[in-house]
Structure 1
Amino acid sequence: MDILEVNWLAIVLAALCGFLVGGIWYGPVMGKKWLGAVGLSEDEVNSGNMALIYGGAFILSLVSSAMLAHLFFRLGQPPFHVKMMMSTGIALTFIIPAIGTNYLFSRKSKTLFFIDAGYWLLFYIAMGLVHAWLS
């Protein structure tokens, strides 16, 4: 694949949408429950290096978005519904089982698992929507 053949606008916008989903999910929707599930206070969370945390998270979102773009490109730009099935399926069959396995061994709570699993499902749905519309 030639690096110029992918839709870079779709990659960046999809990453931004996934990032926005995280801001909403871990903010007003699940923020307080998430804080309780991870055992942190708002002050503890806010004391972190926010530029590093948010910058790193966005770069990782770009990596995920670029991989989706690459996958869709290699498959000949499948139709909208196939892109949605694939992006949702990646979350349901790769991402969520992987974090579930980690949470089982690290003995993290079911509450935290469902909060994080819900986020990753919405993250990949949002990115899939952007890629499906723009590519």
Structure 2
Amino acid sequence: MDINFLALLVASFSTLVVGFVWYNPKVFGTIWMKESGMTEEKMKGGNMLVTFAVSFIYAFLMSFVIQMLTIHQTGALGMVGGDDTIAKPSYVAFMADYGMAFRTFKHGALHGFIAGLFFALPLIGTNALYERRSFKYTLITGGFWIVCFMIMGGIICAWK
């Protein structure tokens, strides 16, 4: 099972699209700025091109993990050492029967939701506790990553 780099790139780009909507002042942007202590002056002081580029790189790194969480056949390949050319006939038969099982947007989004809820949200929540950030901040930022992981998972899992 090869890595679909195009799917990973599109999924990574989707985080920027979600961010533009999510952090828009008409959605959660104004509340997030208040809860995070961010001001317009601070926002203008940074290099947004670098911010978006590094954000994209981070999302691309996350997409590799999302792929492993959403495409179950990746685990089967791992069981044979990662090289399907030396796999036993049982692996070939398994992939012939189940190679595309559970490869839907809905299934990927479900696993993305689970990863966001049980990994991203607690991670952000823990940091927020030590940074003395509000529960609103945790919900806005955690919710962003839950939605991003759902969309990333859906794209990666469905793209064959």
TM-score by length of 1: 0.87
Deviation at 1:111, TM superposition (A): 1.3
Deviation at 1:44, TM superposition (A): 1.4
Query: Given the alignment of the two structures, is residue 6 of structure 1 paired with residue 3 of structure 2, yes or no?
Result: yes
Deviation at 1:84, TM superposition (A): 2.5
- Judged with a 3 Å threshold, the aligned counterparts in structure 2 of structure 1 residues 38 and 127 are, in CA distance, closer, same or farther, namely same
RMSD between aligned residues: 1.8
Report what 1:15 is aligned to: 12
Q: Share of identical aligned residues, percent? A: 27
Query: Given the alignment of the two structures, is residue 24 of structure 1 paired with residue 49 of structure 2, yes or no?
Result: no
- Aligned runs of 1:90-101 on 2, under 5 Å? 90-101=115-126
Query: Given the alignment of the two structures, is residue 105 of structure 1 paired with residue 137 of structure 2, yes or no?
Result: no
Separation in 1, partners of 2:23, 2:143: 10
Could you say which structure has the greater relative contact order, defined with CA pairs below 8 angstroms and 6 or more residues apart?
1
Report what 2:42 is aligned to: 44
CA contact (8 A) 1:91 1:120 kept: yes
Q: Deviations over 1:105-135 (max 9, x none)?
A: 2211111111101101111111112113213
Aligned residues: 132
Query: Given the alignment of the two structures, is residue 85 of structure 1 paired with residue 110 of structure 2, yes or no?
Result: yes
CA contact (8 A) 1:38 1:112 kept: yes
Amino acid paired to 1:32: T
Which of the two has greater helix per residue?
1
Amino acid paired to 2:42: E
Q: Deviations over 1:56-75 (max 9, x none)?
A: 10100111112222442513
TM-score by length of 2: 0.74
Query: Given the alignment of the two structures, is residue 126 of structure 1 paired with residue 151 of structure 2, yes or no?
Result: yes
Unmatched runs of 5 consecutive residues or more in structure 1: none
